[in-house]
Structure 1
């Protein structure tokens, strides 16, 4: 089975999710603060080595009409650079509404989304990765 890392890339934070050894269940691992590309690649490289990751799965924030807006193009640019720097293949998943789904999960757990932004990013990354796993 393939070991994948799911990424929910934002301008300030990146939610990171991983999957179990069977590649069936995705769960949030951490939220990384985006300070520099070098620091980000170092942090991701460590996770990739620990988890024997073989592919990066990145959520692409399409516009509601299905087009690639400014944010989606920024995500693609960073994801492409990361994949190249880390030497891993890259898969994109439509991430429309994943942050909303993550917030709904938090509300169901009686957690305040506004006070747990990093947790939303992790949960969104897990939703992105789970969608990819379910499709494979």
Structure 2
């Protein structure tokens, strides 16, 4: 059983995958897309779902610091609904507050250049989203 974590942005989607036991999250890639050509995005996600035998997806849900959902949260909800419909597997929304900020700090601490950070920030945010989901689920067991 593997779980996929997605950080849905306006032009990119960061992708992370869990190990088979559901303990750790690893970044896979950042998928670039254009709004009017989302079929290419869904095709790539479908390839990854098959390759990694994914049976659940976690999509980051943007909220502000007090927990209010932003306009971007509406887009993430729509994306999650489309993913659920397209791939017929469970999709959960997960609070992604401050994951991009945390990802940025991790990459800066790793002395990564600004250009390189821009290329991998969404993938790293997806890792943080998925890892927090995995940790929470493990604590509940």
TM-score (norm 2): 0.91
- Residue in structure 2 matched with residue 55 of structure 1 by the alignment: 56
Computed over aligned residues only, the root mean square deviation of the Cα atoms, in angstroms, reads 1.2
Which whole-Å deviations, capped at 9, do the CAs of 1:55-107 have from their partners, x for residues lacking one?
11011001222111211111111121112111111111110100011011101
- Residue in structure 1 matched with residue 31 of structure 2 by the alignment: 32
Which has a greater percent of helix? 2
TM-score (norm 1): 0.94
Tell me, what secondary structure is at the counterpart of 1:23? Answer: coil
Unaligned stretches of 5+ residues in structure 1: none
1:109 and 2:110 correspond:
yes
Alignment check: 8 A CA contact 2:16 2:130 kept: yes
What is the distance in 1 between the residues matched to 2:115 and 2:71?
Answer: 24
Alignment check: 8 A CA contact 2:80 2:92 kept: no
- Residue in structure 2 matched with residue 76 of structure 1 by the alignment: 77
How many residues end up aligned between the 2 structures?
135
Unaligned stretches of 5+ residues in structure 2: none
